[in-house]
Structures are given as structure tokens and as C-alpha cells.
Chains A and B, each alone.
Chain A
């Protein structure tokens, strides 16, 4: 699977929007962009995924660049409970569907 690059850490204030970037310049045409997050001492949690078009769900929005070489996870109003490590992961699907986790971005939310 293609590699992703994320900032090691980001900081935000409560109730402000957060934009978490992810670069994936070697993405292939069949790679989906997935975002997961992991709260302290818990298993990861699915956030959102997309292929080409921007996506919205109740947790977040995913903005995908036109050339698909980068994407941004948008939390519209950060809360203290959004403090977590956010992982941007690419995979090409298929029957195996294994996810390869990078280092992710540690998001700190200040009250």
C-alpha cells in the first residue's frame, strides 16, 4: 500500500475547527483514503473514508485534493473528546483488506 505522511502533532482549541492534513503522493487509482483515530488506551475507531469525492458524516468531513495526492480530515468543532491520534491510511481493498498504520497525528485539544 502507498505511504502517507502526516504531521506528528497538532494543537487546537475547543469548539474551533481542526484541519488534519495527509500527503499521499504515490497513491494509486484504486487506493481508498481511510481515517481512523485512537483515543488513549483504546482500540482505533473508524472515522471516515473516501475515494475521489469529498465525504461528510456525523463525525467529520474528508476533503480530497483533485489529484488525490493529499487529503484533509476536518473536525468542524473540536471537543476535548476529540483528543486522539489520527491515522490516515491508504489501501486498495480486495479480500485481504489489511490496514497499515503509520505514526499518525497526535491532536491535542485545549479547553
Chain B
């Protein structure tokens, strides 16, 4: 199956700083990428949908100025958590679909963000 990578896998940052998380589709072109957040023992919550070359569509309640999403190419999307606070600590997961794998969504391994 298709492979999606995320970098970094873990990051610790200080409160008030910004953190960028990368999501790459390694062997296919992803026309659409999704960003999810998952708190401990909870289900995944969709944050936003991004299509290559256009602005991301954010879910209700997700601050677009705080969670900046860029999908500049068919293989790369980035999520920047700006002015991070301890309550932003979570497991961030991206997924991608596109090309010949369009019936399936392929998920990255996730990024564990801890804000101190």
C-alpha cells in the first residue's frame, strides 16, 4: 500500500513557540491531505482538509490562525502550531488520498507534540 510519512515523530517545545510538522506521501501524489488530532484514549478528530494549491478547509472550532496548514505540492503538507500552549499537546496525525489509491486513505505514523 501507499506510504505516508510524518516528521518529526516526537517534539517537545516551550510554551509560546511554534512547531512545524511535515506530512509526505512517499510513493503517490496526494491531491487531498487531512490533519487529525487525537488526545489520550480518545478518537481522532479531524482538524482540516487541504487540497494541493488551495487554502485548507478547517473544521468547526479549529482556529485557522493557530493551526497553519500549507499543501504546496502533491507530496507535502505541513501543519504549523503557532504560539503553542500546553493544551495543544496531543498526537497529530495526517492522512492522504489521491491517484490510483483514491478509495483508501493512508495515514502517517503520527507526531507526538508536548508543550512545556
Contact = CB atoms under 8 A, between A and B. Distances in A.
Interface of A: 32, 36, 38, 41-46, 49, 87, 95-104
B67 interface: no
Interface of B: 1, 4, 6, 32, 34, 36, 43-46, 49, 91, 93-95, 97, 102-110, 112
Interface SS of chain B: strand
Contacts of A32: 103
Contacts of B46: 98-101
Contacts of A102: 43
Interface SS of chain A: loop
B110 A49 contact: no
Contact of B110 (A42, A46, A95, A101): A42
A96 B91 CA distance: 23
Contact of B34 (A36, A46, A98): A98
Nearest to B106: A46
Most buried by A among B43, B97, B106, B109: B43
Contacts of B6: 43
A6 B1 CA distance: 27
A36 B108 CA distance: 13
Contact of B107 (A45, A97, A98, A100): A45
A39 to B, nearest CB: 10
Given A43-B95, A43-B110, A104-B43, A49 B49 contact: no
B104 A49 contact: yes
Contacts of B112: 41
A46 B43 contact: no
A49 B103 contact: yes
